[in-house]
Chains A and B, each alone.
Chain A
Amino acid sequence: MPADRLTPTAPGEHSAARQGLADVPREPGAPKPDPILVADGIVRQFGGLTAVDVKHVEIQRGVITGLIGPNGAGKTTFFNLLTGFDRPDAGTWSFKGKGLNRVPAYKVARLGMVRTFQLTKVLSKLTVIENMRVGATGQRGEGLFSAMFAPLWRAQEAANTEKADALLERFLLIKKREDFAGSLSGGQRKLLEMARALMADPELVMLDEPMAGVNPALKQSLLGHVKSLRDEGRTVLFVEHDMDMVRDISDWVIVMAQGQVVAEGPPDSVMSNQAVIDAYLGSHHDQDLSEDVEAEILAAAQAEIDAQHSGEHQEDHRG
């Protein structure tokens, strides 16, 4: 996909895409004015456990969307499903209006939706620059027969190398150009993975925990890099546990808990949302567990169990 289809905006300027989010209702499954990714009724079960059960979710084009939630909420599984690394038991989802059901992962990547991994996957025994070159799509030299005739792919290779060098410069890895990727530090690997994903010129960059295991000094520079992706006109969807990062860079936040989307909205409104606080801290987090409160909770739980045993399937009123 050519880069000129992206519409760059000056850093700090609020793009139309971000302003468009102002009128979006703050509720799970809210429709967006210009969605790049739409998912409907995605269900993934592992044996008896429903890991993901997302009714409807849309990702706005040209903004940074954060996907947060407590451990085991199904964020990474949802990521795997969207990118074709895993198949859902039910549901449909589309990228740029094209349905992605049963589309293999490598084709999803070619469509312009490239992901990174929670546990960084660099190609250890290849040099940094070779890692970058692998990322380029549509390479003529990757066909078995054209591979044997260097003149067929040499020019394209040179162009890819130039692009890779520019990206390495931008991600501060140019000094490591000829080193094995396996010799990089954890943070440098995260940078390399992000830079490599950009070799494919993706429209949607999916980052799975980009800050995991990165030291605070590098975090700031990584944050800058993620923002620069948006400023180039790309869409970013990321999974993260680091709340500072979520607050700092995301334009929109989707919260998952127990496989479902429980809240959506701009970072500030989401952080104060009762459903989100409950998901992270449990619904009794602000009560003192004094003896009488504890007894009260136990009594309530007992009553609930009794009610279920007597066959009355009542709604749960606890909120």
Chain B
Amino acid sequence: MDIVNLLGFSLQQALGPTAIIYCLAAIGLNVHFGYTGLLNFGQAGFMLVAGYSIGGAVTIFSSSLLVGAVVGILLCVVLALLLGVPTLRLRADYLAIVTIAAAEIIRQTIGAASFSDTFGGQDGITDFIGGFRALNPYGDSVGIPGLVTWSAYDFWVMTVGWVVVALCCVLVWLLMRSPWGRVLKSIREDELAVRSLGKNVYSYKMQALVIGGVIGGFAGMMTSLRSAAVGPSFFATDVTFFAYTALLIGGAARVLGPVVGAIIFWFLINFVGQVFSSATGGTDPLIPSWIMDSNQASLTRFIIVGLGLMLLMIFRPQGIFGDRRELAIDAR
């Protein structure tokens, strides 16, 4: 087993396009769950809407990716309003139920055979990325030779992606240090108290749902750009839960929590996966095949990372950036 190769591969993934997607999705969830206490289990729905928007803008309407991005943002706002209007006056659990269901409804509908002429059914949409590719300033693969390299296209996606991540972080930082952010955090603590102090709780929750949903939409757009395709299978429910995992690893209600969390999460998934696949592969595997064969190895990474999450929750429940004192209050 070559440790340099192993680290290089994991690093390539941890800073690569996929990590950016989880990063953006988790930043959105941080606004929802971390700051406002809204349980949105349908982040994948926002991602899908925006991802299909930039794909569909080119393939269906022969428009540009930029127009698709604007439409994607608008559709995310509309989706947030649709989800929020009936549920935000009710208890937190209702939003959780409605969002998880809505995300699946959208995904199943858009993947349905009846719409396969426009949305391509389960195969999704491809061949819309030409405009973005043409703008790529990198001619050759980029990276540290011998350790990690990215293809020119991947690096272009990463450049755009990390800029979007940085902008979102600045936005969240600006908002959360302000009195506006203080109202959100207060709503997370006690809605009734905030209402008794003259704040329109419903309106604040709606604003938070929209902002987090749009940031989730950016994650969906990055998905389309990374894969140069969109399909229903990219936005299954587990995407939302991976994003939650990234958020909890980094620490909720911290600006950089979801960023660091997503990098660590995606590094671990790939590192552990690679360790097991190289330990079970080849003609004379390190782990004999009667214990584990190479098919089982790819699933083992989820078991190991899941175990790691449990240990994290036991020994550092606040995540990496969290404040332990805050959790001590909950225990009272």
**Residues of chain A whose beta carbon lies under 8 Å from any beta carbon of chain B:** 83, 85, 104-107, 109-110, 114-117, 121-126, 130, 133-135, 137, 139-144, 147-148, 150, 153, 157, 180, 182-183, 196-197, 199-200
Contacts of A180 in B (CB 8 A): 325-326, 329
B196 contacts A83, C-beta separation under 8 Å:
yes
Contacts of B190 in A (CB 8 A): 121-124
Chain A residue, CB-CB nearest to B327: A125
Q: Which of A107, A115, A144 contacts B207 (CB 8 A)?
A: A144
B198 contacts A110, C-beta separation under 8 Å:
yes
Given contacts A109-B197, A109-B198, A142-B199, 5 further A-B contacts (CB under 8 A): A85-B192, A104-B200, A137-B197, A141-B178, A157-B179
B180 contacts A121, C-beta separation under 8 Å:
no
Between A and B, 18 residue pairs with Cβ closer than 8 Å are A83-B196, A85-B192, A85-B196, A110-B198, A115-B196, A116-B196, A117-B193, A121-B196, A123-B193, A123-B194, A125-B188, A125-B326, A134-B182, A134-B199, A147-B180, A153-B178, A196-B197, A197-B197
**Residues of chain B whose beta carbon lies under 8 Å from any beta carbon of chain A:** 171, 174-175, 177-183, 185-186, 188-190, 192-201, 207, 325-326, 329-330, 332
* Residues A147 and B326 in contact in the complex (CB < 8 Å), given A121-B190, A137-B198, A182-B332: no
Chain B residue, CB-CB nearest to A183: B329
Chain B residue, CB-CB nearest to A196: B197
A105 contacts B174, C-beta separation under 8 Å:
no
Q: Which of B181, B198, B200 contacts A147 (CB 8 A)?
A: B181
B194 contacts A134, C-beta separation under 8 Å:
yes
Q: How far is the CB of A68 from chain B (nearest CB, A)?
A: 22
B178 contacts A105, C-beta separation under 8 Å:
no
Q: How far is the CB of A289 from chain B (nearest CB, A)?
A: 44
User: By CB atoms of chain A within 10 A, which of B182, B197, B326 has the most?
Assistant: B197
How far does the alpha carbon of A157 sit from the alpha carbon of B179 in the complex, in Å?
8
A147 contacts B196, C-beta separation under 8 Å:
no
Contacts of B193 in A (CB 8 A): 117, 121-123
Chain A residue, CB-CB nearest to B181: A147
Nearest 7 interchain pairs by C-beta: A182-B329, A147-B180, A141-B179, A109-B198, A121-B193, A147-B178, A123-B189
Contacts of A105 in B (CB 8 A): 195-196
* Residues A106 and B200 in contact in the complex (CB < 8 Å), given A134-B194, A148-B178: yes
How far does the alpha carbon of A48 sit from the alpha carbon of B113 in the complex, in Å?
52
B197 contacts A114, C-beta separation under 8 Å:
yes
How far does the alpha carbon of A133 sit from the alpha carbon of B179 in the complex, in Å?
8
Q: How far is the CB of B10 from chain A (nearest CB, A)?
A: 35
Q: How far is the CB of A47 from chain B (nearest CB, A)?
A: 20
Contacts of B329 in A (CB 8 A): 124-125, 180, 182-183
Contacts of B186 in A (CB 8 A): 123, 126, 134
Q: How far is the CB of B327 from chain A (nearest CB, A)?
A: 9
How far does the alpha carbon of A182 sit from the alpha carbon of B179 in the complex, in Å?
20
Chain A residue, CB-CB nearest to B192: A121
Contacts of A116 in B (CB 8 A): 196
Contacts of A141 in B (CB 8 A): 178-180
Chain A residue, CB-CB nearest to B173: A148
Chain A residue, CB-CB nearest to B332: A182
User: By CB atoms of chain A within 10 A, which of B180, B196, B207, B329 has the most?
Assistant: B196
Contacts of A126 in B (CB 8 A): 182, 185-186, 189
Contacts of B332 in A (CB 8 A): 182
* Residues A106 and B178 in contact in the complex (CB < 8 Å), given A122-B193, A125-B185, A180-B325: no
Q: How far is the CB of A27 from chain B (nearest CB, A)?
A: 32
Chain B residue, CB-CB nearest to A202: B198
How far does the alpha carbon of A157 sit from the alpha carbon of B180 in the complex, in Å?
12
A142 contacts B179, C-beta separation under 8 Å:
yes
How far does the alpha carbon of A91 sit from the alpha carbon of B185 in the complex, in Å?
36
Contacts of B179 in A (CB 8 A): 133, 139-142, 147, 153, 157
